[in-house]
Structure formats: C-alpha cells, structure tokens
Amino acid sequence: MDEFLQTLHHPSPQPKWLRWLRQLLPPLCWQCRQVLGGKTYQQPASPFLCSSCLLKLPWTDQHYHCRQCGNRTAEPGRIRCHECLEELWDLDESRSGFGYHEIIQHWILQLKFFEQEHLAPLLGRLLALSLQKSQWLEKYDTLIPIPLHASRLRKRGFNQSLLLAHQLSRNVEHYFPEIQSHWLKRIRATRPQTELTLAERLVNLEDAFSAHPDVQNNNILLLDDVMTTGSTLNAAAHCLKEAGADRVGALVLCRRIWEPGREHSAEY
C-alpha cells in the first residue's frame, strides 16, 4: 500500500497563486485534525487528508474482488463469485473505491442524512484517486448517477450520487464518460432499502426505474455512493438493458463486503 500511495499525484493541480493564497491559512486533516503543512496542496488528497490518514483508508484491492458483483474473493481475478452464480445479475461488472466502514462510512452518512454537502468534493477526490492508475472508465460512453424519486429528492434536497458524479468528473485527468442524469428516472417511490431484508429488497425495486430511449446501443456506467447487496444497481441495469443498452457497469464509492455464508442484513 505504501508503494500505491507513492504513485498517486494531485489529479487536478491548482494554479500556484491559488495554492500560495490558501496556504496562508493551512487546513486541517479531516481525519486526524492535525494542521497540514505548507506543501499540502501538492499532495494527492489535498486539501482534505494528510498522507498518513490517506494510507489508512479502506482501499479496495481490485485483484481480490469479484468483477461482476464487487464482493471480496479469496482468490484473485474472479469474473463471477459463488453469490453471483446463485442470482440473476444484469450488471456486467462493478467496481468500488473503498470498503464501507471506518471513516468513509461516517462521511457518507454525514453527507446523505445530515446535510453535509461540503463532503462531496472530498469523496469525489478519493474516488478519482482509486481510479488514477486505471483506464477502466474508457470502456463506457455515458455515466448515469442513480436517481432518487422526486419525493425523496424534495425531502433530502439533493442527489448525493449526482454530486459525486460531478466531483469525480472534476478530478479525473483524462477521459470521462458524458454525464446523462436524465437518461434514468425513478418512477415509483420505494421504501428505503436499508429497512428491508434481502428478499424484500428484490421485490421493492420491481418497475422502479424508467429509461430514456437514447440509452440504446450505449455502454453505460451507473454511479452510486454505496453498494450493499447490489439490488438497486442491478434493477437499474435491468431497466437500461431492456431499453436497449449494450453494456451496463457500476462504479460505487464504497462496497459493503459480505463474508461467505453470512445473511445480508439491512444495516446501512
């Protein structure tokens, strides 16, 4: 992991005058709260995290995760794991930046449920760093953030997946798929997935999405903040493929990891 951290660099370098101006008031690390040094804006997670805290984040090891559902595997390079084989998956592949625990989990909950929208730039920067040494995005034409139903959007005031998509696009240096947030709509209000069992989640999302005709013949990447069982992303992928999409993948900031044989709880 030390070698990985050393390969990272600032994904969107700021002008020297702006770095100089901001360094007049050095920021604090968002994790350990120590004052960041004078060269902080040259660091990869600047101006949010010090190098020590960046290293301690629960980064996903892509080699030991199932390519389709994103869950952890015991052996490297698995295209499908035993859980994928037991269920019908419309997602062609999925990828996460981090495990859903520790400080990352806290930041996501603060963003979604406590109106801490200022966390979106930090989370978008971190997801961009997890993709920095990869050309994985280049296989997709379009990126669609998972939509909220209008009633939940009014209640929350923003769609955290759309915020994450825009912050991610600002921090990816090279190719980035075109964001088309209107190509997928949530047409039926559903109960929060966090309140349901695994069996209830699958039924809860039936006919919940509607796709725009322009999805035809496109390779589409869905973006969400957290993947738990994958039910939401899989239902969205099913809708897109029925509307004519060629390929549908998923990118999430965090993936909850399930141990083999354990029942999927509704904790979120």
* pLDDT attached to residue 110: 95
Q: Is 177 part of a structural domain of the chain?
A: yes
87 and 187: one domain? Answer: yes
268 residues of the chain, pLDDT tens digit each: 556 666 766 566 567 776 666 667 667 888 898 888 766 666 677 778 888 899 999 999 988 989 998 988 888 888 888 777 667 889 999 999 999 998 999 999 999 999 899 899 999 999 999 998 889 999 999 999 999 999 999 999 999 999 999 999 999 988 999 999 999 999 988 766 666 566 666 666 778 999 999 999 999 999 999 998 888 999 999 999 999 999 999 999 999 987 654 444 433 3
190 and 70: one domain? Answer: yes
52 and 67: one domain? Answer: no
* pLDDT attached to residue 11: 62
125 and 108: one domain? Answer: yes
32 and 121: one domain? Answer: no
For the record, the structure tokens of 8 come out as 């990272």
52 and 150: one domain? Answer: no
41 and 72: one domain? Answer: no
CATH of the domain at 202: 3.40.50
Asked if 226 and 109 count as a contact pair (C-beta separation under 8 A), the reply is: no
Q: Is 88 part of a structural domain of the chain?
A: yes
Bridge partners of residue 91, in order along the sequence: none
CB neighbour class for 26 (10 Å; exposed up to 12, middle 13-18, buried from 19): middle
* pLDDT attached to residue 38: 64
* pLDDT attached to residue 221: 98
217 and 179: one domain? Answer: yes
Which residue from 227, 229, 149 is spatially nearest to 188, judged by alpha carbons? 149
42 and 91: one domain? Answer: no
142's CB contacts (< 8 A; 6+ apart) are 177, 178, 179, 180, 183, 215, 218, 219, 220, 221
* pLDDT attached to residue 267: 38
113 and 43: one domain? Answer: no
46 and 146: one domain? Answer: no
* pLDDT attached to residue 229: 84
* pLDDT attached to residue 266: 39
Radius of gyration for the chain, computed over Cα atoms and rounded to the nearest angstrom = 19
* pLDDT attached to residue 259: 61
Q: Is 267 part of a structural domain of the chain?
A: no
* pLDDT attached to residue 268: 37
- Sheet containing 93-99: order of strands: 93-99, 247-255, 219-227, 142-145, 178-179
Q: Where are the beta strands (DSSP E) in 212-259?
A: 219-227, 247-255
> Can you give the residue range of the structural domain that contains 24?
2-56
What distance in Å separates the CA atoms of residue 135 and residue 175, rounded to the nearest whole number? 8
What is the per-residue DSSP string for 85-146?
A: HHS----SEEEEEEES-HHHHHHHHHHHHS--GGGHHHHHHHHHHHTTT--GGGG-SEEEEP
89 and 196: one domain? Answer: yes
Instruction: Tell me the helix, strand and coil percentages in the chain, rounded to 5.
Output: 40, 15, 45
Residue 238, classed as helix, strand or coil, is: helix
